[in-house]
Amino acid sequence: MVKHLIISTSLDLVRIAPESIVYIASDGNYSTLVQTDGEVRMLSFQLGQIEKMITFQLGNEGSVFIRIGKSLIINRSYIYYINVPKQKLILSDVATFNHTVAASKEALKQLKELLEKEVK
């Protein structure tokens, strides 16, 4: 059975499969979760807390996510385009959604190298 990420507060609970998450962005003390179906969900957790949830709940399966800098967690399955000089990262399934996010040049460079290494 596919593991789901469960994000629970005293008032509500979000249960979502990892492949349904495109990225999670930091928004101060909150985080914004962007889903593959286009829905955007505000979470009352800091990004670091969500990273811990992913680690503890998904274990090895959590490695589908990559933390980029202080303000972004992306689903590596949807990395479509990286432009280091323009600090541009496009996350897409090349069919239904296409999200452009920004990251530092250094972080994008490392991400690019990581993906290059994986195909070698």
Partner 1 sequence: MIQSEKDIQDSEIRIIGNTDVSAPQSRLRFWGWIVLGIALLCFLVGLLLAITADRKADRSKVETYFDPQPVAIVPENSIKHRLGREIDSLARGFCEVRDTMINDIPLRIYIPHNADMFLFVGEMDKSDTTIVFAAQAADIRRDNHEIVGAFVLRGEPLAWGLSKKGYCAIIDGRITIGVADNSPLFEEATEKGGYFFRQYPLVDNGVLCENEPKNKSIRRALCDRNGEIMMVDCSSPESFHDFAQALVDLGVTNAIYLVGSTSYGWAIDDRDVRVEFGVENRHLPKNASYVVWRKK
Q: Where on the chain is the footprint of partner 1 (CB under 8 A)?
A: 48, 51, 54-55, 58-71, 73, 103-107, 110-111, 114, 117
CA distance 78 to 81: 9
Q: How many CB atoms lie within 10 A of CB 25?
A: 19
**Shortest distance, position 40 Cβ to partner 1, whole Å:** 21
**Shortest distance, position 20 Cβ to partner 1, whole Å:** 16
Residue 77 or 104: which CB sits closer to partner 1? 104
CA 90 to chain CA mean position, Å: 12
Residue 99 or 112: which CB sits closer to partner 1? 112
Residue 36 or 107: which CB sits closer to partner 1? 107
**Shortest distance, position 79 Cβ to partner 1, whole Å:** 11
Q: What angle do CA 71, 37, 77 make, to 5 degrees?
A: 60
CA distance 20 to 59: 17
